[in-house]
Amino acid sequence: MSFGKDIIIAAQTELAKRKSRAENLQQQRRSEVLLKVPEIAAAERELAQTGLDVVKAIGMGADARSYLENLAKTNLALQEKIKLLLVSNGYPENYLETDYVCKKCEDTGYVEGTPCSCRRILLKELALKKLYSNSRAAQCTFESFNLDYYSDRPDERFGISAKEQMKNILEYCRCYADDFDCSSPSLYLFGQTGLGKTHLTLAIAGVVTASGYNVIYDSAQNIFNRLEREHFRSSRSDEYDGAEQELLDCDLLIIDDLGSEFTTQFTVAALYNVLNTRLNCDKPVIISTNLDAHALEEKYSPRITSRIMGGYTPLHFLGNDIRQKLNN
Ligand SMILES: [Zn+2]
């Protein structure tokens, strides 16, 4: 799983903060204790000496073993003495230990070169926080998707009521999110405005992000703005922000409201490149749009439309704009 550059930087910053917070606190406590209990300072000096004395074992031959055993005993006894001194002076016995948030990796994020579980948890938390900085995301869950707003009268054109169709789509999306992996299919969510497409894509984004996958969720307009900025600056490599690479690398790309943006030759080419590259690598994309196949072809190109029609699972949202009902 690959996380976006901003999430990785935020995680590294947070880990460094945790580490320095713990180590500063340990130093403060140590200065305080050594000043108040000089016997601890003496015991610490002796302890340090046992560490230095280890080298004397070299060249002792057969005697080295019992010498080292004695040294280890002295070392343990000194540690015990320090604990007792702490307790008898009113401190907890572990007062001088560095209080890392994660003892396994001492807040470095790595154990012997392998990412620590705390780092993975942190990345996930930061990704969720980023998703939920989109004010609607936290409210748009599968649980809050209300089927009561859809009519149960069968729609003659499709032979199914909007409610029945949306119930199936809700169930499909829920299973999709629960069972998501990097080779899940791409989805094409289409239908009129105000039928809950954004709600369900946000619900999928929430569940998949919480499972630890790197999800990029954004409106088509924002995605194209970033790509355009990057493209027209690429001559100045210091301003390259990796927008396109992130769109290609993430585990799940969700493009909300495709078709509402202002298209140019550039955006059409950029969209084709992203969709085509991801499809070739079997990386899922979810597109939500008001455009059906015909309208897609008019706005973009037959190439893009055929990629979507050929490679995506279509989910047709039915009903009348539920936002009016929500507001009443
Ligand atoms: Zn850790």
Q: How would DSSP label each residue in 258-296?
A: ETSSPP-HHHHHHHHHHHHHHHHTT--EEEEES--HHHH
The answer to the question of residue 122 being in a domain is no
Q: How many angstroms is it from 100 CA to the middle of ligand 1?
A: 9
Of 3-12, 89-98, 250-259, 283-292, the least confident: 3-12
Place of tokens 């100045």: 236
Q: How many angstroms is it from 11 CA to the middle of ligand 1?
A: 12
Whether pLDDT at 236 is above 70: no
Q: Do 67 and 180 fall into the same domain?
A: no
Instruction: Check residue 57 and report its DSSP letter.
Output: G
Q: Do 144 and 209 fall into the same domain?
A: yes
Q: Do 192 and 62 fall into the same domain?
A: no
3-class SS of residue 131: helix
Q: How many angstroms is it from 216 CA to the middle of ligand 1?
A: 26
Q: Do 187 and 273 fall into the same domain?
A: yes
The answer to the question of residue 127 being in a domain is no
pLDDT of the residue at 283:
95
Q: Do 181 and 301 fall into the same domain?
A: yes
Whether pLDDT at 319 is above 70: yes
63 neighbors 35 (Cβ within 8 angstroms): no
CATH value at residue 262 = 3.40.50.300
Q: Do 143 and 111 fall into the same domain?
A: no
Q: Which amino acid is at 240?
A: Y
Cβ-based neighbour number of residue 171 at 10 Å: 11
Place of tokens 């309208």: 295
Q: Do 111 and 138 fall into the same domain?
A: no
Cα distances from 288 to residues 51, 98, 134, 260, 314, in angstroms, run: 65, 50, 17, 11, 10
Cβ-based neighbour number of residue 67 at 10 Å: 14
Model confidence band, residue 234 (pLDDT cutoffs 50, 70, 90):
low
Nearest Cα neighbor of 254 from 228, 230, 297, 286 is 286
Angle value at C-alpha 168, between 166 and 171, nearest 5 degrees:
105
* 120-148 tens-digit pLDDT: 999 989 988 888 887 688 889 999 999 99
The answer to the question of residue 218 being in a domain is yes
Model confidence band, residue 173 (pLDDT cutoffs 50, 70, 90):
very high
Domain count, the chain: 2
Q: How many angstroms is it from 112 CA to the middle of ligand 1?
A: 11
Q: Do 175 and 303 fall into the same domain?
A: yes
User: In what helix (H) or strand (E) does residue 163 lie, and over which residues does it extend?
Assistant: helix 162-178
Question: Sign of the CA dihedral 189, 174, 125, 245?
Answer: negative
Q: How many angstroms is it from 184 CA to the middle of ligand 1?
A: 30
Q: Do 58 and 155 fall into the same domain?
A: no
The answer to the question of residue 128 being in a domain is no
pLDDT of the residue at 328:
43
- In three state form, how does the secondary structure of 240-264 look? CCCHHHHHHHCCEEEEEEECCCCCC
169 neighbors 313 (Cβ within 8 angstroms): no
Question: Sign of the CA dihedral 71, 75, 80, 82?
Answer: positive
Could you tell me which residue, 16 or 65, shows the higher pLDDT?
16
Q: Which amino acid is at 148?
A: D
Q: How many angstroms is it from 101 CA to the middle of ligand 1?
A: 8
Q: What average pLDDT score do residues 1-20 get?
A: 89
Q: Do 64 and 155 fall into the same domain?
A: no
Residue-wise DSSP of 14-28: HHHHHHHHHHHHHHH
* 145-170 tens-digit pLDDT: 999 989 988 888 888 999 999 999 99
User: Which pair of structure tokens corresponds to residue 251?
Assistant: 């585990």
The answer to the question of residue 264 being in a domain is yes
**CB-based burial, 268-299: b 16+ in 10 Å, e otherwise:** bebbeebbeebbeeebbbbbbbbbeeeebbeb
The answer to the question of residue 123 being in a domain is no
User: In what helix (H) or strand (E) does residue 8 lie, and over which residues does it extend?
Assistant: helix 5-36
Give the integer Cα–Cα distance in Å for 300 and 186: 19
* 285-311 tens-digit pLDDT: 999 999 999 999 888 888 899 999 999
Q: How many angstroms is it from 94 CA to the middle of ligand 1?
A: 20
User: In what helix (H) or strand (E) does residue 115 lie, and over which residues does it extend?
Assistant: strand 114-115
164 neighbors 151 (Cβ within 8 angstroms): no
Q: How many angstroms is it from 108 CA to the middle of ligand 1?
A: 7
The answer to the question of residue 126 being in a domain is no
Domain interval for residue 61: 5-115
3-class SS of residue 89: coil
Q: Do 246 and 148 fall into the same domain?
A: yes
Q: How many angstroms is it from 302 CA to the middle of ligand 1?
A: 50
Q: Do 27 and 80 fall into the same domain?
A: yes
The answer to the question of residue 229 being in a domain is yes
Place of tokens 């903060």: 17
**Main-chain phi, psi angles of 98, to 5 degrees:** -75, 125
Q: How many angstroms is it from 111 CA to the middle of ligand 1?
A: 7
Q: How many angstroms is it from 98 CA to the middle of ligand 1?
A: 14
